[in-house]
Amino acid sequence: MPRVLLALAVLLLIATQSSARPANGEAAPEWELTPLAEPVLRLFTPSSGAFFAQTAQALMRSDDAGDSWQPVSLGPAETILEVDPTNHQVLYAAGPNGIYRTRDDASTWSLILPFSPDVGSIALALAVSPVDPNLVYLATGGGVHHPAESHFVRSRDGGATWQVLENRELALCTASVTILRPHPTSAQRVFRTAGCTAGRTFGTTLSQSTDAADTWTPVFNPEPLAAPLLGYPARLVGGQDGHFYLAVNRDRRLGGSSLFRTDDDGLTWTQVLAYRGGGTPAYTPAGEDPSAPNIWMGGLAYDPANPDHVDVGRQSYPDYFAAADGGGVSESWDGGQTWSDLGRQDIGAVNDLAWGIDGRNLYAATDQGVWRLRQAPLDEGD
Amino acid sequence: MTIGVNVDPNHPGAGPSADILKQSGFEGVRLTAKPDAINVQYITDMLAAGLTVVGVVGTGDNQDFVPPDPRVILQIYNEPDAATGTTITAIEYADLFATWSNKPEIRDNSSVQRWTAGFASGVYMYYLDFLEALRSRHPEVPMPDAVAIHPYEQDPDGLRRMAENYWLVGRAVTGAGIPVVATEWFQSVNPDLTAADDVIDPFQHALNDPDPQGVCTVWSSFFAWHDDQSDLPGGITNHAGVCLPEGIRLIAAIGGDSSWCG
């Protein structure tokens, strides 16, 4: 079966499996810490199976829904960038010399893009289209000696060849990419939030390309300077039937975060959740409490089969300079109209949230490790 | 009081000539001091023209370069308190400030001025922690010649409060006080230059002596000369060299002549 058809079949399979809301009287599910009990930054749930977690130093893999974990060799590379969302045997990682790829379950790694003046010296983000896994996007930067430098390149053949699309170097700022997300059902569409942040920035724009990154159009916060209270788009989920949720963290000087929802493919956005407080006395908006903890959104998970079901993972910062000291997860079953805490809230600062591919488990990557929340079995809940 | 502007001679269109700067009313430039030939020559040209140069050092792209001319004011690092890629603790910043201050070409030449990095958070306690760490961990290092702030997204009253807090911290630690300078600031303006709602002029006057209310008695520099130097949608000029509304407003506010830019 051609890979595109296989990917569509898997997506269809996933779309038909909905997360299950506990029935009245049924015991509420609870978080349990898996054996991976160290800070975890990011989760990968490719549709073909396997489950990956990125820690500060390594990539870990579980084949039993988090009951056990094994390290994955990155070969000459150092940092995992992406797992092909359709094929868990294909991984992309960054090393000191460039971008590496494995196609055989991390048995062998190949350098597919050496760093150079045209493509920078560090990787900022890499994303693979779930519709066409040969379509790969890569954002890079100039590293410590050129922090304001950024590049954007694209491969249409799974990393065999690359086309440089953007090169730029600004002044006195640090290039960053917080969102690089291909559309789940449209190969030509991809979303990106990229910027060069410094004291002068209070937010960034979420842009969309409909021509595989040749051109970009703002879809959220088109003029960050004019709307400093909006902030920095941090997490984007959705895409099915025009539904998206977007988590936006305000500048640390202002404090707070917001969740926005669109049901018209990004034409209009509605705020459905807001945390306020934190920031610094010189900047905290009137009516908000600078002494309150600053709550940022670090994880966002969404059920494609039930767009009204969304989960938000939080990070709580006690003051402007401090590291996060807590978090938790909030959940809505009505598209964000009402929210409730999901299970125990002492699971740590949430860096990522992801549903298992069968919709039975929700996973949280926190500064304590990978937590798992088992939902009711599908045949009982649905 | 010196009024400057942030430039980048390595960026096309962002390295204005000394003549243009003077005609526009600017008396100095701030830039990252880099060892490349273009940057070194630009600094030389500005100094030769009698303009003041503030060179940002200690950043990654500075590559430990010390401008050879002691007239260049050294601003050590950039925005250590910003929640961006430059964040370091106040103690780490004190150590960095001391490392640079103890470089022989700086330590042995008392005429070299050393300014703090531009603080961007408005958290003046960071500045206090820095000064106390500098004094306790590096007692051989003189106090900074100025403390720099980046008062973005402030109105004139907010700027005055911010500058006052930084001034009070410096005075509490040193007794005599440490001048406050603004090494980056920006205000977006109404593109309709006939409109009366100008924000550049009142902010500029809040910054600068000899305005009786001016809070920065040594230096202020607008960010940036060219709108492609940053993600900010503004500057003195755009990529075509045409003055932007805020550029025209600022040049007027400092008594300069913008006829060169149409």
pTM of the entire structure? 0.93
Number of domains making up chain B: 1
Q: How confident is the model at residue A9 (pLDDT cuts 50, 70, 90)?
A: very low
Mean pLDDT of A287-297: 96
Distance CA A250, CA A137 (A): 26
Enumerate the domain spans of chain A: 1-21+32-71+241-382, 73-227
Q: Residues of chain A with pLDDT > 70: what percent?
A: 92
**Does residue B262 register a pLDDT over 90?**
no
- pLDDT tens readout for residues A140-188: 999 999 999 999 999 999 999 999 999 999 999 999 999 999 999 999 9
Distance from CA of B76 to the nearest CA of A (A): 13
Interface test with A, best of B84, B88, B162 (most A CBs within 10 A): B84
Predicted confidence at residue B197, as pLDDT, reads 76
- pLDDT tens readout for residues B229-256: 988 888 999 988 899 999 999 999 999 9
Predicted confidence at residue B189, as pLDDT, reads 87
CATH number reported for the structural domain that contains residue B17 in this entry = 3.20.20.80
Predicted confidence at residue A24, as pLDDT, reads 66
CB A221 within 8 A of CB A195: no
Residue B128 domain boundaries: 2-261
CB A303 within 8 A of CB A311: no
**Does residue A8 register a pLDDT over 50?**
no
Interface test with A, best of B29, B153, B165 (most A CBs within 10 A): B153
Predicted confidence at residue B46, as pLDDT, reads 98
Residues of A within an 8 Å Cβ radius of B: 143-148, 169-174, 176, 195-202, 204, 223-226, 228, 251-253, 280-283, 320-321
Q: Which strands sit side by side in the sheet containing A244-249, from one edge to the other?
A: A232-238, A244-249, A257-262, A270-275
Residues of B within an 8 Å Cβ radius of A: 6, 8, 11, 14, 32, 56, 59-61, 63, 78-79, 81-86, 89, 118, 120-123, 126, 150, 152-154, 158, 161-162, 165, 184, 186, 188, 223-224, 228-234
Q: Which residues of B touch A146 (CB under 8 A)?
A: 60-61
Q: Of A8-22, A229-243, B147-161, which gets the smallest average pLDDT?
A: A8-22
Interface test with A, best of B230, B236, B246 (most A CBs within 10 A): B230
Q: Which residues of B touch A253 (CB under 8 A)?
A: 83, 120-122
Do A253 and B122 make contact, defined as CB atoms within 8 angstroms? yes
Q: Residues of chain A with pLDDT > 90: what percent?
A: 86
Predicted confidence at residue A20, as pLDDT, reads 64
Mean pLDDT of A71-84: 98
Q: How confident is the model at residue A375 (pLDDT cuts 50, 70, 90)?
A: confident
Do B84 and A174 make contact, defined as CB atoms within 8 angstroms? yes
A130 φ, ψ to 5°?
Answer: -70, -15
Token couple for B252: 């007027």
Cα dist from A50 to A39, A125, B10, whole Å: 20, 22, 48
**Does residue A15 register a pLDDT over 50?**
no
Do B231 and A170 make contact, defined as CB atoms within 8 angstroms? yes
- pLDDT tens readout for residues B69-124: 999 999 999 999 998 889 999 999 999 999 999 999 999 999 999 999 999 999 99
**Does residue A138 register a pLDDT over 60?**
yes
Q: What is the DSSP string of A171-237?
A: SSSEEEEEEEEE-SS-TT-EEEEEEEESTT-S---EEEESSTTSS-EEEE-S-GGG-TTT-EEEEEE
State whether residue A7 is helix, strand or coil. helix
Residues 6 or more apart whose Cβ sits within 8 Å of residue A227: A203, A221
Segment (H or E) for A380: helix A378-381
**Does residue B152 register a pLDDT over 80?**
yes
**Does residue A10 register a pLDDT over 50?**
no
Can you give the three-state secondary structure of chain B, one letter per residue?
CEEEEECCCCCCCCCCCHHHHHHHCCCEEEEECCCCHHHHHHHHHHHHCCCEEEEEECCHHHCCCCCCCCCCEEEECCCCCCCCCCCCCHHHHHHHHHHHHCCHHHHCCCCCCEEEEEECCCCHHHHHHHHHHHHHHCCCCCCCCEEEECCCCCCHHHHHHHHHHHHHHHHHHHCCCCCEEECCCCCCCCCCCCCCCCCHHHHHHHHECCCCCCCECCEEEECCCEHHHCCCCCCCECCCCCECHHHHHHHHHCCCCCHHHC
Residue A335: CB atoms within 10 Å: 17
Mean pLDDT of B167-181: 96
Interface test with A, best of B39, B231, B232, B246 (most A CBs within 10 A): B231
ipTM of this complex? 0.94
Output the average pLDDT for chain A: 92
State the fold for domain A73-227: Methylamine Dehydrogenase; Chain H (2.130.10)
Q: Which residues of A touch B84 (CB under 8 A)?
A: 173-174, 176, 197-199, 201
Predicted confidence at residue A28, as pLDDT, reads 80
